Amino acid sequence: MVSIEQLRGAQKAAVFLISLGPEISGEILRHLKEEEIEQLSLEIASLRKVHPEVRDQIFDEFVDMLAAQEYMTQGGMEYAQSLLEQGLGPEKARMILNRLTATLQVRPFDFARNTDPAQLLSFLQNEHPQTIALIMAYLQPEQAGMILSALSPELQIEVAKRLSRLDQTAPEVIEDVESILEQKLSAFVTHDTAHAGGLEVAVEILNRVDRATERTIMAALEEDDPELAEEIRKRMFVFEDIITLTDRDVRLVIQQVDSKDWQYALKTASDSVKSKLFRNMSKRQVEAILEDMEFLGPVRLKDVEDAQQRVVAVIRRLEEAGEIVIARSGEDELVV
């Protein structure tokens, strides 16, 4: 049996997410960085059986870490150490605090290093040269170089001068600048898976994230492990897979989906998907949807993908309720 000591942090996080179930885990993943989602998805898909005792130890560790962080917020390190030692003993208290402080030691502007330079540029180009120089000092050299190259010639010179003269900056100044930039970026960027682990759990979670996140994860998995990516893709249900449903199941789906979602979802749909859906709708319903689609005119791709995701969510809900059957690759066909 694998012990908790043999598990890396990412593996513990994967077990934790699996134990929470796909809906909660999918919601948590929406708030993580792209590279964190990619790593966790890979760990979840690769994870095999985890003993219930190890799972419970991971939950206990999470609760202890959460309590330690709350104690530190309330009264600082000494206060947290005192309370933890009373409840857990000196050795375990020291271990938890060491682990917690290690995770809290994050370099300033860590979030910015994982942000597209073009997005950073849109906020930095109107800032004071000293502010730009301060932020660039903490970026990856490639990021900073791209941003510097895109600034106006006059600003390039000012920023380069201030960057070369930058020495020590008060921590509170760094915190203020970091907080403001993070707020601006979060308002601008849209953050638009118990046998434990395995492909099915990964698919459960991936089917609940937004399309952009799904594409990012699958692209990373295809590069890192093409065979695993292919296995996951076989098990995932996407909007175009509507053509694999029976006519009876399609009619059930049509009844559950809002007509406005069809207007958007069908904007980029293939002819085969449209044909499958329209032949299971009434003539009046088809005419209404086509008329509304024409009236809509051009729409944002994100709105189309969101509508398609809502249709997929309805299909998954009907499958979970046992009302329809989704035929997945590799499964035996139904014989009547």
pLDDT in tens, 268-324: 889 999 999 999 999 999 999 999 888 888 888 888 888 888 898 888 788 878 888
CATH number of the domain at 147, please: 1.10.220.30
When divided into structural domains, the chain yields a total of 3
30 with 100, same domain?
A: yes
Q: Is residue 111 part of a domain?
A: no
163 with 32, same domain?
A: no
pLDDT digits (tens, 9 = 90+) for 305-318: 888 888 988 887 88
pLDDT of amino acid 264:
92
Structural domain harbouring 258 = 237-336
Is residue 179 predicted with pLDDT exceeding 80?
A: no
Is residue 67 predicted with pLDDT exceeding 60?
A: yes
56 with 153, same domain?
A: no
155 with 200, same domain?
A: no
pLDDT of amino acid 169:
66
232 with 242, same domain?
A: no
Which carries the bigger pLDDT value, residue 44 or residue 99? 44
Per-residue pLDDT, averaged over 206-227, amounts to 72
269 with 208, same domain?
A: no
Picking from 243, 237, 246, the residue whose alpha carbon sits closest to that of residue 316 is: 237
- Concatenating the DSSP letter of every residue in 63-129 gives HHHHHHHHHHHHHHHHHHHHHHHHHH-HHHHHHHHHHHHHHH-PPTTTTGGGS-HHHHHHHHTTS-H
175 with 152, same domain?
A: yes
89 with 198, same domain?
A: yes
pLDDT of amino acid 62:
80
67 with 213, same domain?
A: yes
